[in-house]
Structure 1
Amino acid sequence: MKKITYFFVLLTLVFSCSNDESDRSDELETLNPTAYNTQPLLTKFSGTGLSYEINGNSVIFTTQDLPDHTSPYWDTANALYEEYNGTNPDWNQNPGSIGAQNIVFTISLKPSEAVNKETTSLGPIGIARNGVVFFNQYAAGNNPLTGEINSFDQWLGHPAMTTYHYHVEPTWLTQEFGEDAFLGLLSDGFPIYGPMENGETVTNADLDAYHGHTGVTEDFPDGIYHYHITNEDPYLNGNGYFGTPGNISR
């Protein structure tokens, strides 16, 4: 009789835990997208020449796009100038340099999935928490990044003319805040996180066609759709924005 009772209790516990996990999964999958609110993330933005203001359900970022870290692309008279000391044996400096920009993003604070997805364009598609802009997975002419990668500095950014930007993991930020940390926002308002989640490396196979998924993050314990940076193409973004992109002016 004792063995039967013990088995019944154990079966009840297993069934209960299984139901809890299933309910949690269902809850994330059916999370009302109108519940998304990224305003709490704004306090994490800080950078030279970076400011923001809230206008209704939108945030307006104005950035000079100046990295807060060293680079060989700074003028040699700048205190942040540093010769390349990264690990790429094929590194080749491009002819660009870091210069102050005036880039304005108007981004929704309450993003939701777009019915009709839009492709990303060349140029800025999002903003990192230090004010540097993100570009998509293509070089000029919508070509693969294969050659351009060799011009990325020691923090994996580089300039297009004078517009400094990241295509891939901004290692300055992941080194400072962690590989699972919030890194910035794409123009559609959805957050970008680093290449780790729950102690595991995120791969492209873990993500959808837009290079994101819905799940719990440190900032959103109830779950939110978010992008991840991975170490393989498309690195940050896939087949366009998951949500509706806001306005970007330069």
Structure 2
Amino acid sequence: MKLKFIKNYALILILVSLVSCSEDEESITNDEVSTSEPIETTETTEIPAIYFKIYGATNITSDGTYVTINTNGMPDHKSVYYPISDELYEDFSGTTFDGYPFVKNPNVIESFDYSFKIPLNPTEATNHVATPLGAIGVSLNGVPLFNQYAGPDQPLTDEFQSFDKYWGHPTGNGTFHYHIEPLYLTTVTATKSSLLGFLLDGFPVYGPEENGTDVTGLDAYHGHNHATEDYPDGTYHYHITNTDPYINGNGYYGTPGTVTQ
């Protein structure tokens, strides 16, 4: 009788242990679920068709606040700054912008991984910040736009002579860019009154003409506000002209996004 009792007691202990283990495992599982990171979801944002005019983009995305434009920064036109072995290389001599005799700088066009992040719905900034050296915007062929300086407060005078036939040139690290009118866009792929790109504050950039005549009436930021073919309801926009400050005046009209290279 005593032996039977011991066996029954042992069996009860085993059953209690199994139930306890099962409850502990369930508890651990619930704890893991409750403390795990939330699953990230991707929200699709419709990108306005205007941005797809940037035909040099390798990718265009939007998070609903910013539009991110990726490019490699390499011009789609021929240039004396491509390596001689490149199919886009073309020798160039004679004169360049404003009659300057062309003098080639020692640099060669390189490819980069640009990411231009600009406001999806740009507005005028409360405090207008100055444009920095380096990329201040992106042109339709994916080439960066630079401001009117060759260096800190240094005018472009000594750089005009190094502009190629389409008025662009590379920096020492191979960054090809336009300081002034991107002649390939205004004379080959589009016109002098066409959309040419966007600055980092999200506002569009147009050529030096409107309705077939040189643009006038620009403000301190080198732009003005009215309807365009792309914006029939009107928008602020910049104009590239062939006199200083060429692309931009006393800073961004809006609040700039960012650019990485």
| Same fold by TM-score greater than 0.5 | yes
Query: Equivalents in 2 of 1:67, 1:238: separation in Å?
Result: 25
Question: How big is the shift at 1:52?
Answer: 1.4
Structure-2 residue corresponding to 1:192: 205
For the residue of structure 1 that corresponds to 2:246, the secondary structure is: coil
The answer for the alignment partner of 2:8 in structure 1 is none
Who is 1:229 aligned against? 240
TM-score, normalized by length of structure 2? 0.78
Partner of 1:13: none
Q: Which moved more, 1:84-93 or 1:155-164?
A: 84-93
Which residue identity lines up with residue 124 of structure 1 in the other structure? Answer: A
Q: Which amino acid aligns with 1:183?
A: L
> Contact conserved, 1:138 with 1:144, CA < 8 A, in 2?
yes
1:57 partnered with 2:68: no
Q: Tell whether the 8 Å contact from 2:114 to 2:259 is kept in structure 1 after alignment.
A: yes
Secondary structure at 1:41's aligned position in 2? helix
Tell me how far 1:210 sits from its aligned partner.
Answer: 0.3
The SS at the match of 2:77 is coil
Q: Percent identity?
A: 49
Asked whether the equivalents of residues 50 and 65 of structure 1 are also in contact (C-alpha less than 8 Å), the reply is no
2:66 alignment partner AA = S
Q: Secondary structure at the match of 1:138?
A: coil
1:66-81 superposed matches below 5 A: 66-81=74-89
1:122/1:142 contact within 8 Å kept: no
d(CA) in 2 for partners of 1:137, 1:209: 14
Contact kept? 2:66, 2:120, Cα under 8 Å: yes
Partner of residue 173, structure 1: 185
Structure with more relative contact order (C-alpha pairs < 8 Å, separation 6 or more): 1
* C-alpha deviation, 1:38, in angstroms: 8.6
1:242 aligns with 2:253: yes
C-alpha RMSD over aligned residues: 1.6
The 1-side partners of 2:251 and 2:123 are apart by: 14
More strand per residue: 1
- Structure 2 counterpart SS, 1:222: coil
Q: Which has the larger radius of gyration?
A: 2
Cα distance between partner residues in 2 of 1:50 and 1:142: 33
Shift of 1:87: 3.5
Contact kept in structure 1, 2:47 and 2:62, CA below 8 Å: no
**C-alpha separation in 1, matches of 2:94 and 2:182:** 13
For residue 140 of structure 1, the aligned residue among 143, 147, 151 is 151
The count of corresponding residues between Structure 1 and Structure 2 is 211
Equivalent position amino acid for 2:192 in 1: E
More displaced 10-residue stretch of structure 1: 129-138 or 54-63: 54-63
Shift of 1:179: 0.6
**What residue ranges of structure 1 are gaps of 5+ in the alignment?**
1-36
5 Å matches for 1:199-210? 199-203=212-216, 206-210=217-221
**Structure 1 residues 52 and 86: alpha-carbon distance in aligned structure 2, compared to 1, 3 A threshold:** farther
Alignment of 1:1-250 (within 5 A): 39-47=48-56, 50-85=58-93, 87-88=95-96, 90-161=101-172, 162-175=174-187, 176-203=189-216, 206-250=217-261
Partner of 1:8: none
Counterpart position of 2:41: none
CA separation in 1, counterparts of 2:215 and 2:104?
Answer: 30
Structure 2 gap segments, 5+ residues each? 1-45
Whole-angstrom CA distance in 2 between matches of 1:75 and 1:217: 39
SS of alignment partner, residue 153 of structure 1:
coil
Q: Secondary structure at the match of 2:157?
A: coil
Structure 1 residue 142, shift from structure 2 partner: 2.7
1:7-45 deviation per Cα after TM superposition (whole angstroms, max 9, x unaligned): xxxxxxxxxxxxxxxxxxxxxxxxxxxxxx992311211
Task: Supply the distance in 1 between the matched residues of 2:93 and 2:201 (Cα, whole angstroms).
Answer: 35
